[in-house]
């Protein structure tokens, strides 16, 4: 874990209430897709956990939804301004021993970390099938960015205004063996029930964000675990609903 000062390079709206921010700073502590950072919003006490969408040496991309005053403040930051963030938080997805054609299921604000994941899987010769779910066409983002990675992509919207009508699980096709999933809990549960194995990213209210307060504990088959440090990714086998 590192506390890093980042310079804002860009901060733009890419869908309804969804912003993409690119930052310049030390990303050396970010090692796996599915990890998150905790942003200190200038003038606010609590940090905000935001999953990493993409990173490279010295550059970080975050996608966040404006849901309250803190994230609204974040959306006002201009290129050239600075913020600090704790980086390298969370366990991230384990990319060892992954079967050849896993499905990546992302729902709403759970979509961003799946981009770095799809990229990492491609780099190790695995082509995931990407299923993205949103409420409506105005909420859809990153469909083209995923396609540009050279992976098959399908989109579902609840109201049917873009892609197939329904939920991510409605567009799984034949992909029911192994899933990587990130999204709201009802979606995670639906994915869990439609596959035989996989890794699931959970959200929790967080205090510290790095394992010190136990404010984010979650029951698993192996006892209580901290979503922020032992997670946010849990395996299919250990999940208790």
x-or-dash string of contact with ligand FES, 182-221, rule CB under 6 A = ------------------------xxxx-xxxxxx-----
Q: Is residue 14 within the footprint of ligand FES (CB under 6 A)?
A: no
Choose between 151 and 208: whose C-beta lies nearer to ligand FES: 208
Choose between 36 and 167: whose C-beta lies nearer to ligand FES: 36
Q: Min. distance of Cβ 16 from ligand FES in angstroms?
A: 29
Rounded distance between C-alpha atoms, residue 51 and residue 10, angstroms: 17
Q: Min. distance of Cβ 138 from ligand FES in angstroms?
A: 32
Rounded distance between C-alpha atoms, residue 190 and residue 169, angstroms: 7
- Residues numbered 218-237 forming contacts with ligand FES, rule: CB under 6 A: 226, 228
Q: Count residues near ligand FES (CB under 6 A).
A: 12
Binding positions for ligand FES, rule: CB under 6 A? 206-209, 211-216, 226, 228
């Amino acid at each position: 874990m590192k506390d890093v000062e980042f310079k804002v390079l860009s901060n733009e709206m890419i869908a309804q209430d969804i912003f993409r921010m690119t930052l310049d700073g030390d990303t050396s502590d970010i090692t796996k897709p599915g990890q998150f950072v905790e942003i200190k919003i200038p003038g606010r006490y609590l940090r905000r956990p935001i999953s990493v969408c993409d990173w490279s040496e010295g550059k970080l991309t975050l996608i966040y939804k404006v849901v309250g005053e803190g994230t609204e403040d974040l959306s006002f930051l201009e290129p050239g301004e600075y913020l600090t963030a704790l980086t390298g938080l969370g366990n991230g997805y384990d990319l060892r021993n992954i079967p050849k054609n896993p499905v990546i299921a992302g729902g709403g604000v759970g979509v961003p970390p799946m981009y770095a994941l799809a990229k990492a899987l491609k780099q190790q010769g695995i082509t995931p099938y990407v299923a993205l779910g949103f409420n409506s066409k105005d909420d859809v983002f990153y469909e083209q960015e995923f396609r540009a990675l050279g992976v098959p992509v399908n989109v579902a919207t609840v109201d049917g205004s873009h892609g197939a009508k329904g939920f991510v699980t409605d567009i799984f096709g034949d992909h029911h063996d192994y899933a990587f999933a990130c999204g709201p809990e009802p979606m995670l549960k639906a994915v869990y029930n439609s596959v035989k194995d996989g890794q699931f990213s959970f959200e929790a209210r967080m205090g510290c964000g790095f394992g010190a307060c136990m404010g984010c504990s979650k029951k698993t088959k192996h006892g209580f675990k901290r979503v922020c440090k032992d997670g946010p990714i849990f395996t299919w086998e250990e999940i208790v609903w």
